[in-house]
Copies of this chain bind each other. A is one copy, B any other.
């Protein structure tokens, strides 16, 4: 699995999917890096600002949810598997105001691994995964965190 090679095309395809969703296009959320385990997204503050001049909570929720969703989409693409990716639930903590660009990063929670998740999807046509995502400030400190469960559902008949 040559992740760096596949990553550029997969990131471009993911960004086309983000761009096709009107609320995501309005927030100018885009994927910038994927190393096979973690996905990084960026969005400008200007499109995501609230009444206090800092990042809107709904934009923080959106970029973290999209980081988890996009991570699953990329892992499926790298593995050559087809499945829809659905968010099932999430817990979000807002830790500090952010007066800067939104930098989000998502990965699996510590007790999960992609080979087991994708094996479950191949065998049962469905799988669950738990993602941790966070938005960091320019100094690398978390300003918001998300833990979310996603469901992968293979097309009927696959």
> Could you list which residues of chain A lie within 8 angstroms of chain B, going by C-beta atoms?
17, 20-24, 26-27, 46-52, 56-59, 61-63, 65-66, 69, 84, 86-94
When the two chains form the complex, which single residue of B21, B63, B93 contacts A56, counting CB atoms closer than 8 Å?
Answer: B21
A17 to B93, CA, bound (A): 23
Nearest residue (CB) in B for A64 is: B58
CB distance from A126 to the nearest CB of B (A): 16
| In the complex, chain B residues whose CB is within 8 Å of the CB of A56 | 21, 23-24, 62
Whether A58 contacts B23 by the Cβ 8 Å rule is yes
Bound CA span A28–B154, Å: 33
**For residue A17, which residues in chain B have a CB less than 8 angstroms away from its CB?**
51
